[in-house]
Amino acid sequence: DPTRLVSYARTHSDLAVLGKLTARGGAGAPITFTSAADRPALADWQGVSFTSDGSLLEGVVMEWSRNGVTPRGAQPGSILQNSTVRHTMWGCVSGGVSGMQVLNNSISDCGHEGVDVQDGNMVIRGNTITDSHSGIVVLAGSPVIEGNTLTNVGDGIGPTPLRGTPRIGANTITLAPRNSTLEWRFGTFVYRIYG
């Protein structure tokens, strides 16, 4: 994956907030974080990260990045809600160990996963996740994963067997058809919805 190389980081911008980020868009007037290209493509830029608990992203659109929304460190009071995260090469929401809340978002076209949990007690509730290699990936921790709708995903909630102790309930999962050709490209590197 060339986006993991130092050369990618040196040549692509990143919005890294060393503190708390508050981005609150109004009804019909979202705050948009996007590519500056005339013809946007996956991984045109790195994404948005923030380091302080209590961050709030509401009514935002995040698109054409490598890694979407990335809270750094423990942030159980941070919230991403009522937003759109789409057209992402890697993870649309890379929750890491944050424990943040991901509520009522539209998450789509994610090359690796819609939401990633590496540890902690994230709350992932009421989201619609579509057209993604994996819907929600749980590597460790005790996340709450409830009331989400996952459609046209290569994997629903995984890996299998699940690690950690997630609480999972009332989710609707529809996997992509086995003959799906959906893929995400950066140069010659390709993620496929299956495989």
User: For 91-125, how does the pLDDT look when each residue is reduced to its tens digit (9 = 90+)?
Assistant: 999 999 999 999 999 999 999 999 999 999 999 99
Could you list the beta-strand ranges (E) of the chain: 15-17, 22-24, 31-33, 48-50, 56-58, 60-63, 69-71, 79-81, 84-88, 91-94, 101-103, 106-117, 123-125, 128-138, 144-146, 149-158, 167-169, 172-175, 183-186, 189-192
User: For 122-156, how does the pLDDT look when each residue is reduced to its tens digit (9 = 90+)?
Assistant: 999 999 999 999 999 999 999 999 999 999 999 99
User: For 54-105, how does the pLDDT look when each residue is reduced to its tens digit (9 = 90+)?
Assistant: 999 999 999 999 999 999 999 999 999 999 999 999 999 999 999 999 999 9
